[in-house]
Structure 1
Amino acid sequence: MSKRKGKDAHLPIGECIAQVQGLLRERLCCQKLPVRPEGVEAQHQHLLELLRRTAVHGESNSVLIVGPRGAGKTMLMKCVLRDLLEEKEVQKNLLQVQLSGLLQTDDRIALKEITRQLQLENVVGDRVFGSFAENLAFLLEALKRGDRSSSRPVLFVLDEFDLFAHHKNQTLLYNLLDVSQSAQAPVAVVGVTCRLDVLELLEKRVKSRFSHRQIHLLSGTTFSRYQERVRTQLCLPGGFPDPKFAQDWNASVEALSEDKSAQEVLQRHFNSSKDFRSLHVLLIRCLSRVSADKPFIRPADLQEASRLCFEDANANMLHGLSILELCLIIAMKHLSIIYDGEPFNLQMVHNEFKKFLKRSRSIYSFEQPVVMKAFEHLQELELIRPVDSAASKSQREYRLMSIMLDHSQITEALQKYPQCPTEVKQWATSPF
C-alpha cells in the first residue's frame, strides 16, 4: 500500500483510517465519567452526603433523582458511587443492588435478582416464604455480621422507578421504603426516573414511607454546546501516530461543523433529542462510512447517517410482508378510519378484505386458515396487539386487536414496497 506524501507522513492511509476508527469508536461507545460532573455540583454533593450517611453511619434514606432523558441522571449516580467507593470503610461494607423497571417487570423477578446480586442463593435454598416481606426480611437478616449486632448497609438503585409503581400492589416499593424508614437494616433506596409526576403514581401507604427527598436535574444543553460536543468527540488527540493526517482530519472536522447542510442535520437531531447518547450513535454511523477512498467525514455522510437514524423500523418491516399481509394491514387502516380508531377483530378485517376482492382483478381470494395464519404473523411481528390479556380466552376470530401503525407509516411503506400491485395502492389511498 502506498504512503501519502508529506514531511510528517509515515503511515499508509488505510492504517490511519483503521486507527482513527478504533480510537473514536472507543471514545464514543465507552464514555468516561468526568472528574466532576458539570452544572450539577450541588446535586452531586447532596447525593454523596446522603449515601455516605447510609454507608458509614448506618442511617437509612430514600431519594428520587428526577429529570428528562439525557439530563445526566445515570452519570450523576455513577460519579457519586465512584467517589463514595474511594473510602476504604465504604468499600468493605456497602452492598449494591441495581434493578431496572424495564427488566424486573414483576416482584418475583425483582426478588430473584436481589437474591442473586447479594449472592444469597445458597442461603435461601429451597425455603418457602409466605410473603414478599418475609423473603426480603430473611435476606436482610442474612447480611448481618458475625456478632449479629448490625447489618451491612445495602444500596438499592431502581432505574426507571416509575415502572415499579405498576407492579401489583407496589409490594416491592412498599417493602423497600418500609425497611428504609424503620431501623431493621441500613438501607438506601435511590429511584431514577423521567416522570415529574412520579409521586402521584404511588399508593398512599407507599408514599407515606418515602422521605420525599427529590434531586431534580434539568437538561441545560444549548445547540452551541451540542456542536462543540461534535468537534470534541471527532477531533484527534495530539499524540496520534501520523501528525499530518491528524492535522488534516481535525481541519475536516472543523469544516464539517461550519457546513450549513451539516448544521441543519445537527439542528434536527438536537430538536429531536438533546441526549448526547443519540448524538454518539449518529457520529458512529458517520465514522463507518470513512474509507481509504473517502478518508474524512463529509456532510453527505452526516445526512445519510441521519436518514438511517430517523428511519422508521415498523415501516421497514412492512416491506417484507406478503401481499396478503399487506392487504390485511390496509383493511385495518380502513376500519380504524370508519370506526374512529376502535379495536377490530379478524372477522371484521376479513370482511373488509373481501369487499376489495370483489372488485379486484389482480388479487385472488384466500382460504380462511391462510388469512388467519397471516393475521397471527402480523401479531408475532407486533404490528398488531390484543387490546387486553383476557382476549386470549375468546375465539381467535373475535379477539379484539389494535394496530400499532400510523396511517402515514402505511402510506410511506406502500410507496417503497417492491412491485406492489396498482390496485392495492389505490385501495390504500381511497377513502373507503
Structure 2
Amino acid sequence: MRPPPRPSSARAPASLREPRMQPMKPSAMSKRKLRESSGESAECISQVQKILRERFCRHCAAGRLFGMEQQHRHLLELLRRTTVHGESNSALLIGPRGSGKSALLNHVLKDLREMEQVRENLLEVHLNGLLQTNDSVALKEITRQLQLENVVGDKVFGSFAENLAFLLEALRKGDRSSSCPILFVLDEFDLFVHHKNQTLLYNLFDISQSAQTPVTVIGLTCRQDILELLEKRVKSRFSHRQIYLLNSFDFKQYMKIFKKQLSLPAEFPDESFAQKWNNNVQLLSEDRAVQGVLQSLFQHSKDLRSLHSLLMLACSAVTVHHPLLTAADLQEASRQHSTDSKANLVHGLSVLEICLIIAMKHLNEVYDGEPFNFQMVYNEFQKFIQRKAHSMYNFEKPVVMKAFEHLLQLELVQPLERPSARAQREFLLLRLLLDSSQIMDALQVYPNCPTDVKQWAASSLSWL
C-alpha cells in the first residue's frame, strides 16, 4: 500500500493557492504626502520672497516708513492741496543718500492716489539729473510723459519758455480750478542747477507761482547747500520750503526696524508658517552673532538702504529645504555685503601686476605714504628679483611698464595730477589706492599665488 501523503510537507499547486496580499509600499504614500507638503512649502516660500523683495526695494511703497511721520504729513498735505484745491507750490527734500527721500515720496504718492478726492486727478512728470543732462532732453522727456508728441508735431518755438508754456496750455481745461494739476519730480536736483542759465528750473518755479495750470515742483537732493547754487532769479521764484530727512534713530530702534522689516504681515495666507517665521525673527534679534553683524553695519552706515541690501542677500538663501533664516545666513550676507570691490580686482591680476602692487606697498611703508613713480616701483621690483634670483620674474622694462599702465586703467593706482603730453611716464607721481590690509586679504584668496611672492608681501621691510 502507498503511504498517505504527509500534510505538513505537502503544498497546493500554484494555481490553487489563495492570492497573497501584497502590502502597499509605504514609500509611495510618503512620497505623495511629501510632494503635497513640499508644494505648500514652495508656495509659502514664494510668497515670502515676493513680500520681502517688495519691501526691501527702495523705490517700492510696500514697506513702512521709520522716523518720517512729520515729513510724511507735511508733504502729503502739500500735494493734497495741489490735487484738491489747485494750489501750486515747490519744495525740496534734502537728506543724505539712503535717508529715504525716494521712499517718502513714493509713500506719499501711494497715499494720495488712494484718496477719494483725487481719483487719478494728478499728472506726474519724473525727471532725473543723471538722465536729462540738458534742457532740450528734459523738454523732450516732459513731452513724452505728458503724451503730447502729436500736439507739438513739427512746431518751432523761439525759446524754451514758449515751448513749455505751449505744453502746459495744451493740458488746460478752462479755468485754474478745473485744470488738471501736474507734479514735477526732479531727482538729483543739484544736477539740474548746472544746466545753462538754469532755464528749466526758472520756468518751472515761475509757472508754480503764476496763475496758470496748477503745478507743484518737488526736488530731491543730498546737497545741504543747494540754495547757494541757485541763481538769484531762480531763488526768488522758489517757495523756500525745505523738508529735511535725517536718520536719527539709535541702535535699539535699529533692531526694532530689523524685526519689523523681516516679519511677515498678519494677512499672510499660511498663518502657521507666518507664526513660525516671526518667532524665528524674534530669536534672531536676540542672537549675539546677529546683533554683532547689525552693530557693525550700524556703525558703518545708519541708512536703511544698507540694511535692506543685507537682508535681501540673506533672504536669497531661503528655499524649500531651508525655509527659515539663520544667524549663519546673515553672517554670510554680511561678508558678501562688505566685500571690497577694489580688492576683488586684485584676484584677476597677473603675477607681474601683483608684484608691482607689492612693490608699491613696500614703498608706502618705507616712505610713509609719500607719492612714488614708476621708476621707483621698477627698482623695488628689481631688488626682489635679485634677492630671489628668479628668472621667471625677469621681465623686460617695456613689459613691466605695460603691466603698470593696466593698473592705472583699473584705477588701482592714481596720478596726483593730470599728465601732460610732454611728461615722462616713468617719473609721473602716483598714489596707490589699496591699503596694506586689502592687499594681504586679496593675496590670501589669490589662486596659485607663488609662495615667495606671499612672503615678500608679508615682510615688514622692503628688500634693501
TM interval, short-chain normalised: 0.7 to 0.9
Query: Which of 128, 150, 168 is 1:100 aligned to?
Result: 128
Q: Is the 8 A contact 1:177 1:209 kept in 2?
A: yes
Alignment partner, residue 77 of structure 2: 49
- What's the secondary structure of 1:30's corresponding residue? helix
User: Does the aligned pair in 2 maintain the 1:384–1:402 contact within 8 Å?
Assistant: yes
* Separation in structure 1 between the aligned mates of residue 157 and residue 437 of structure 2, nearest angstrom: 52
* Distance (whole Å) between structure 1 residues aligned to residue 127 and residue 370 of structure 2: 37
The residue type paired with residue 289 of structure 2 is S
Q: Distance in 2 between matches of 1:310 and 1:4?
A: 47
Which of 406, 414, 418 lines up with 2:443 in the alignment?
A: 414
Q: Say whether the 8 Å CA contact 2:129–2:189 is kept in structure 1.
A: yes
Query: Could you say if the C-alpha distance between residues 209 and 241 of structure 1 is closer, same or farther in structure 2, counting changes exceeding 3 Å?
Result: closer
Aligned-pair identity (%): 53
Q: Which of 386, 395, 400 is 1:365 aligned to?
A: 395
Any idea what the Cα deviations from partners look like across 1:306-341, whole Å, max 9, x if unmatched? 111111122112111112333344455566675956
Provide, for residues 188-230 of structure 1, a one-character-per-residue CA deviation record: whole Å limited to 9, x for no partner. 2211223333323434444333221111233243433433344
Deviations 1:165-201, CA, capped at 9 Å, x for gaps: 4556545434433443455654322112233333234
Cα 1:402–1:119 change in 2 (3 A) is farther
Match for 1:22: what amino acid? S
Q: SS of 2:124's equivalent? A: strand
Does residue 117 in structure 1 map to residue 141 in structure 2? no
In structure 2, how many angstroms separate the alpha carbons of the residues matched to 1:178 and 1:137?
13
The CA distance in 2 between the partners of 1:366 and 1:419, in whole Å, is 23
SS in 1 for 2:441: helix
Return the offset for 1:82: 2.7
Name the SS for the 2:328 alignment partner: helix
Q: In the aligned structure 2, how far is the partner of 1:375 from the partner of 1:127?
A: 55
| Structure 1 residue identity aligned to 2:147 | Q
Whether 1:208 aligns to 2:239 is no
Structure-2 residue corresponding to 1:353: 378
- Match of residue 182 from structure 2: 154
Q: Which residue of 1 aligns with 2:162?
A: 137
Cα deviation 1:58-105 (Å, max 9, x = unaligned): 543221112344443223212322343456785565332212334445
Task: Please point out which of 331, 344, 349 is paired with 1:316.
Answer: 344
Match of 1:66 in 2: 94
Return the alpha-carbon distance in structure 1 between the equivalents of residues 368 and 150 of structure 2: 57
| Alpha-carbon contact 1:99-1:157 (below 8 Å) kept | yes
Cα distance, 1:30 vs structure 2:
0.9
- In the aligned structure 1, how far is the partner of 2:416 from the partner of 2:153? 40
* 1:221 counterpart = 2:249: yes
> Counterpart in 1 of 2:324?
296
Q: How much does 1:239 deviate?
A: 6.8
In structure 1, stretches of 5+ residues that fail to align are: none
For 1:263 and 1:283, the matched residues in 2 are separated by 14
Aligned to 1:25: 49
Is 1:79 the equivalent of 2:107? yes
Alpha-carbon distance in 1 for matches of 2:336, 2:28: 34
What is the alpha-carbon distance in structure 1 between the residues aligned to residue 147 and residue 77 of structure 2? 27
CA contact (8 A) 1:170 1:203 kept: yes
Q: Report the Cα distance in structure 2 between the residues aligned to 1:106 and 1:351, rounded to whole angstroms.
A: 45
Distance in 1, Cα, partners of 2:319 & 2:115: 47
The 3 A distance-change label for structure 1 pair 149 and 211 is same
Cα distance in 1 for partners of 2:201, 2:452 equals: 56
User: What whole-Å deviation, never above 9, does each CA across 1:118-161 have from its counterpart, x for those lacking one?
Assistant: 3344555677777xxx2353033123147896775432212232
Question: Which residue identity lines up with residue 237 of structure 2 in the other structure?
Answer: R
Query: Are 2:374 and 2:425, in contact at CA under 8 Å, matched by a contact in 1?
Result: no
Q: Is the 8 A contact 1:391 1:400 kept in 2?
A: no
Looking at structure 2, the residues matched to 384 and 136 of structure 1 have their Cα atoms a distance apart, in angstroms, of 47
Note closer, same or farther for the CA distance 1:397–1:38 as it changes in structure 2 (3 Å cut): closer
Cα distance in 2 between the residues matched to 1:277 and 1:73: 11
* 1:113, distance to aligned residue in structure 2 (A): 3.2
Q: Closer, same or farther in 2 for the Cα pair 1:10/1:24, shift >3 Å?
A: same
State the AA in 2 paired with 1:25.
Q
Aligned partners of 2:364 and 2:370 also within 8 Å: yes
- AA aligned to 2:438 is Q
CA distance in 2 between partners of 1:325 and 1:174 (Å): 52
Distance 1:394 1:89 in 2: 69
Q: Which moved more, 1:198-207 or 1:396-405?
A: 396-405
- Residues 172, 180 of structure 2: 8 Å contact kept: no
- How far apart are the structure 2 equivalents of 1:324 and 1:182? 67
- Secondary structure in 2 aligned to 1:269? helix
The alpha-carbon distance between structure 1 residues 286 and 145, as it changes in their structure 2 partners (threshold 3 A), is closer
Question: Under a length normalisation based on structure 1, what TM-score does the superposition of the two structures give?
Answer: 0.77
Aligned counterpart for 2:304 among listed residues 276, 279, 282? 276
Supply the AA of the counterpart residue of 1:19: E
CA contact 2:45–2:319 (8 Å) conserved in 1 = no
Distance 1:240 1:66, change over 3 A: closer
For each residue in 1:346-375, what CA deviation from the matched residue of structure 2 results, as whole angstroms up to 9, or x when unmatched? xx325522441254133221452x455545
Within 2, Cα distance between the matches of 1:392 and 1:325?
25
Q: 173-182 vs 205-214, which deviates more?
A: 173-182
The 1-side partners of 2:275 and 2:78 are apart by: 47
CA spacing shift, 1:123–1:373, aligned 2, 3 Å = farther
TM-score between both structures, scaled by the size of structure 2: 0.72
Report the CA distance shift for 1:402/1:279 in structure 2 as closer, same or farther (over 3 A). Answer: same
Report the secondary structure of 2:237's partner residue: coil
Give the total of aligned pairs.
420
Q: CA deviation at 1:29?
A: 1.5
